Each structure stands twice: as C-alpha cells, then as structure tokens.
Amino acid sequence: MVNTLEEARTLIDKIGQPGIGGMFDFHNTNDESAPWEELIQAHMAYIAHVHLNDAGGVAPSAVTEEYRKAFQILTENKYNKWVSLEIFTVPEDPRALLRQVENFLNDVVAIKETA
C-alpha cells in the first residue's frame, strides 16, 4: 500500500520505467502533513493523474483557497495529464453533476488579471 506521495515517488524511482507515474488524490491526503499546493509542487514531476473529489468522496462544489492554490500549482507547472472525477455514489442527475464540476473547475482555475 502506498499512502503518501513520497512513498509513491520512491516506488516510481525504484521501478524506473517512464510509463509509471503517481496520482494526487484530493480525497486521500490524510497521511500527508503538508498542504495540497506544497505536495503538488514537491512531487509535480511524478504526478501523472489527479483524482478530483472532496473529503467526503463527492464532487467538490465549494471553491476554497486550498483548491485554488492546488490548481494554481498545476497550472503554473503546465500540468496536462489526467484529471478524473472520483465520486463514491451514483448521481441522481449525472448531467447536472457534470455541469457542477465544470463550473467548479472554471472557478478554481480562473486566472485573475492584475491591473
């Protein structure tokens, strides 16, 4: 079982194959001690997949500063790999849920222009 990004990084380095990468899972960061943005920055080269969800295993709806900072680091580092929605229930209205997630992502990755 791999519980932290540091453990994933060690395993990925040990395997030494270019097709093996790690995953940042917003829901499963309980064993980590650093904030999301610090974890992402420190392990960016190893992240090949991002699971989007909140601590309750549902689609995030509230844009928080934590999500903004995490996606800012992903954006600044030109992350262009997998992002998937991981939820633990079957939504009553999948299209409505996808619109909610689309709005969330549009809000969380909105680039603020400075005057």
pLDDT digits (tens, 9 = 90+) for 96-114: 999 999 999 999 887 554 4
pLDDT digits (tens, 9 = 90+) for 43-87: 999 999 999 998 888 999 888 999 999 999 999 999 999 999 999
pLDDT at 52: 94
Q: Is residue 50 part of a domain?
A: yes
CB atoms within 10 A of CB 42: 14
Q: Is residue 113 part of a domain?
A: no
pLDDT digits (tens, 9 = 90+) for 79-89: 999 999 999 99
Q: Is residue 114 part of a domain?
A: no
Q: Is residue 39 part of a domain?
A: yes
Count of structural domains, the chain: 1
Q: Give the predicted TM-score (pTM) of the model.
A: 0.86
Q: At what angle do helices 5-15 and 36-43 cross, to 10 degrees?
A: 10
Domain hosting 104: range is 5-14+21-108
Question: How far apart are the C-alpha atoms of 19 and 108, rounded to whole Å?
Answer: 29
Q: Is residue 79 part of a domain?
A: yes
Bridge partners, residue 51, by sequence: 25, 84
Q: Is residue 60 part of a domain?
A: yes
Q: Is residue 80 part of a domain?
A: yes
Q: Is residue 9 part of a domain?
A: yes
